[in-house]
Structure 1
Amino acid sequence: MKRILAAAAATLLAVSATACGGGDDGSGGKTKVVFSYWGNDSRQKLTEAAIAEFEKKNPEIDVEGDFSDWDSYYEKLATKTAAGEAPDVMSIEIRGLAEFANRGILADTAGKVDTAGLDQEVLKAGQVDGTQFAIPTGVNAFPMIVNEKTLEEHGQKLPDDKTWTWDDYIATAQKVTEESGGEIWGTEYNENPAFLQIFAAQRGEQFYAGGKVALTEQTIKDWWALLQKIIDSKAGPGAAEMLETGTKVDQALLATNKSAFGSWWSNQLDALTKGSGQELSLLRMPKSPGATGSGMFLQPAMYYTISAKSEEAAAAQRFVDFLVNDPAAGAILLSDRGLPTNSAVVTAIKDKLSPADQKVLAFMDSIKSDLSPIVVPPKGAMEMEDILKRATDSVLFGKAKPDEAAKTFLTEANNALSP
């Protein structure tokens, strides 16, 4: 992200700053607010319905949805912000918060959006250096997800997720693969930094500290050894098959009934359940021996932010307030951007949530006492997932030794985080 923003800024340095918004632009005299967000067709439909509801309640405001798919979203947003044409309301994720805030792109929302009804601990995750630059849309966790029916069909019992270890997890998954004759994998695995963050936290290590990656080389190598053990034991597929599966939920082995276990963000349970046509459940992640905590954490699914240069800040604030506080918005968006952090909204929409989302709600409540604090990553963290994936793939495909890859990862990661 830092490189994308910097390149866009250099290209557009000579462009004079102009802000989005304004009422005299063909919108019939209404105040116009531009709202940028990413996602799939389903999210676009839900968002358009929420916008329509807002406009019904606020007929003097016209909200223009600026939708992009994930792959092009940040590049498009970086170009617009560098040109001084930032959308009035922007969706961003936690890895990009410090980057956008430190570039003066985001407005301070404190006292401008009603946050009294939001989870105050989650709300803090929208702050950078004490300033409330972002409002969380909802919260996620990164649990282990299991197809209980698949386990039972292959002679395995649901593990006790308060006590199970990584070895227990791999042994159970290995038996599923064996009992199925290789037709079903015991588990799929995920190279998401959240997985490594949980693994490291169980060892008392933070992913970030002091603006740098705080992981030790040994912990990184041990995490790769865990993934390699999954492959070597046939508990899960090899690196090539996992690469084909990709990171899209509809391609997940869980979604296609080719796996018993898998780790995904909690707000993806509904999509995984619909894809599999079977009931799936959420479990705490396995623990390392001697770990005192699960290492799991709540994380904002994404944020709503307001441009520091918006000419229609008041209307933008009203729109964000609607999205996070109005039960009508909650009833439309449901868990698409994570379960709402406003308890009154959750209460109002609870009966409308799908059975899968009801499970997520109950699971989130059950793990509250066993969660690590939310940490906003430093500027440059948007690049971390790609850097970690390159290093992980280099090890799993046998192109680099773990010692060499760990050093390369730390060097590249900390270079990305440098001012």
Structure 2
Amino acid sequence: MATSRDVGRRSLLKAAGGSLAALGVAGTAAACGGSGSGSGGTVTIRYAWWGAEDRAKRINKSIALFEKKHPKIKVKTDFQPYLDFWKKFNTQASGGNAPDVFQNAIGFLRKYDARNVLLDLTAQAKAGELRTEGFRAGLEKFGEVDGKLLGVPVGSNSMALVIDKKVHDKAGISPELGWTWDDYYKSLRRIRDTQKTAGNGGMHGIMYLYDPYLRQQGKAFFTEKGLGFTESDLVEWWEEGLAGVKSGLFADPKKVNQIKPKSPTADGLAAGEFTWDNFAVRYTAEGDSAYDLAPIPTSDGKKTGQYLGSLMLSGYKRTQHPKEVATFIDFMVHDPEVARIMGYDRGVPATTAQYEAYEPDKDKDPVLKKVNTSIAAYEDSLVEAKVLGPITPHPEGADVVEAAFLRINEEMALGKRSVKDAVKQFFTESKTALGG
């Protein structure tokens, strides 16, 4: 599941300690204008995604391979940083000029389906133009909404705890699958007391962590139509976060804010933080320590509440070339050579064919080799332990709710709002965004 912190891996490695936000500004092979048919019976489709320059290089290389294998289809490309991508996409969609194919995420499916933007790919799948078999861990269902196939996964990720391994080793802490939140808080106190640093960079504003925590309690962040938790639930969660800051278990929010976009763990402000597993390379790029992936704590020692998230590819409902769109998506999702080009840039490959085609332990880059091997091992451990469940449904407006959750939590953490005021504001904004 990618967010605004989804950045290109090799660009990070070249710019360790620099501004991550600057990496995704430049574009290559940008295209405006509509898709259409060219001379010689060729068809041109437009493909847009968010990310940084390294992702662009990998995708453009994949597209060159596609055009070689499908000479009658040409692909014009456009990429932006995450927030800029959605601003541009909204403008294009409103004007009836969205790209034929575009990168998408679970939080946007219902929103753009309700606006008649997304192509239902079911017909293309039935016609054999798009394969829906061969996916890992049930990911073939990831882009289905109300019986419609609105997106096809290209990679998977799951929430994890990224730790500063040197700090944890010195503190004598070795996280294992099945540890509880009580165990986790004990580890935070031990790190604070023995290593004189915060154990976590701040976790209570991360929607995709709060969701599995709620799922451990039999609830969820979202239902199909709204929020799946109460104001009292959130008061408890956010009060716990502020208490952790005051006791030194969590990093000082003001200091965390000052070092953005660098992460508090890479900066040395904290010994760990929760994020998507495929972001693990970021810490090696930014920091001077050794980093590893640890499992999500549980409430009962068994249920983690986790699921596999994913980037996906979607088609534009008004495209003039649905067959070519499906052919392109099928290639990007299933072709083994694409996996060897992309690596884990979009997460662990969603299909078995691509997963087996890219072997991270054979990567020529030693840093990527180590980090990607760790990511694969982490996701394999989740599958083997059978802790993964289906993803929580995301209603229309989920993207607005996620942004509000992050923003309001930050305002509260910086002392601009009380907990009760922050919770009230969040539920007010959520009600408006979700139309209820």
Normalising by structure 1, we get a TM-score of: 0.87
Match of 1:14 in 2: none
Return 5+ residue gaps in structure 2 as ranges: 1-31, 364-368
1:96 CA drift (Å): 0.7
1:318 CA drift (Å): 1.3
Match of 1:185 in 2: 198
CA distance in 2, matches of 1:376, 1:125: 10
Q: Secondary structure at the match of 2:313?
A: strand
CA distance in 2, matches of 1:86, 1:229: 46
CA distance in 1, matches of 2:408, 2:34: 40
CA distance in 2, matches of 1:19, 1:206: 42
Superposed CA offset, 1:37-74 (max 9, x none): 01112211211111122122222222111111112111
1:210 CA drift (Å): 4.3
CA distance in 1, matches of 2:298, 2:226: 25
Match of 1:299 in 2: 309
| Matched letter for residue 237 of structure 2 | W
CA distance in 2, matches of 1:311, 1:133: 17
1:411 CA drift (Å): 2.2
| Matched letter for residue 400 of structure 1 | R
| Matched letter for residue 185 of structure 1 | A
Give runs of aligned pairs for residues 93-104 of structure 1, distance below 5 A.
93-104=105-116
Match of 2:280 in 1: 269
Of 126-135 and 49-58, the range deviating more from structure 2:
49-58
Q: Is 2:114 the counterpart of 1:113? A: no
Return 5+ residue gaps in structure 1 as ranges: 1-17
Superposed CA offset, 1:207-259 (max 9, x none): 1124011112222122212322321121222221222344x4xx112334443
Q: Given that residues 20 and 310 in structure 1 are in contact (C-alpha distance below 8 angstroms), is that contact kept between their aligned partners in structure 2?
A: no
Q: Secondary structure at the match of 1:384?
A: helix
Give runs of aligned pairs for residues 320-335 of structure 1, distance below 5 A.
320-335=329-344
Q: Is 2:380 the counterpart of 1:360? A: no
Q: Secondary structure at the match of 2:303?
A: coil
Superposed CA offset, 1:123-179 (max 9, x none): 2120111111110111110111112222223x33213341232x4323323433443
Q: Given that residues 19 and 86 in structure 1 are in contact (C-alpha distance below 8 angstroms), is that contact kept between their aligned partners in structure 2?
A: no
Superposed CA offset, 1:367-392 (max 9, x none): 12112311230001111122112331
Q: Is 2:409 the counterpart of 1:392? A: yes
Q: Is 2:305 the counterpart of 1:284? A: no
Q: Secondary structure at the match of 1:65?
A: strand
| Matched letter for residue 159 of structure 1 | P
CA distance in 1, matches of 2:276, 2:137: 22
| Matched letter for residue 284 of structure 1 | P
Q: Given that residues 330 and 345 in structure 1 are in contact (C-alpha distance below 8 angstroms), is that contact kept between their aligned partners in structure 2?
A: yes
Q: Given that residues 175 and 295 in structure 2 are in contact (C-alpha distance below 8 angstroms), is that contact kept between their aligned partners in structure 1?
A: no
Q: Is 2:83 the counterpart of 1:74? A: no
* Of 135, 140, 147, the match for 1:130: 147
CA distance in 2, matches of 1:323, 1:55: 12
1:278 CA drift (Å): 4.6
Q: Given that residues 110 and 396 in structure 2 are in contact (C-alpha distance below 8 angstroms), is that contact kept between their aligned partners in structure 1?
A: yes
Match of 2:48 in 1: 36
Normalising by structure 2, we get a TM-score of: 0.83
1:28 CA drift (Å): 7.7
Structure 1 residue ranges (4+ consecutive) displaced by more than 4 angstroms after TM superposition: none
* Of 312, 316, 321, the match for 1:312: 321
1:287 CA drift (Å): 2.6
CA distance in 2, matches of 1:205, 1:231: 26
* Of 58, 72, 84, the match for 2:96: 84
Match of 2:27 in 1: none
| Matched letter for residue 172 of structure 2 | Q
CA distance in 1, matches of 2:155, 2:224: 27
Q: Given that residues 50 and 332 in structure 1 are in contact (C-alpha distance below 8 angstroms), is that contact kept between their aligned partners in structure 2?
A: yes
Q: Is 2:180 the counterpart of 1:164? A: yes
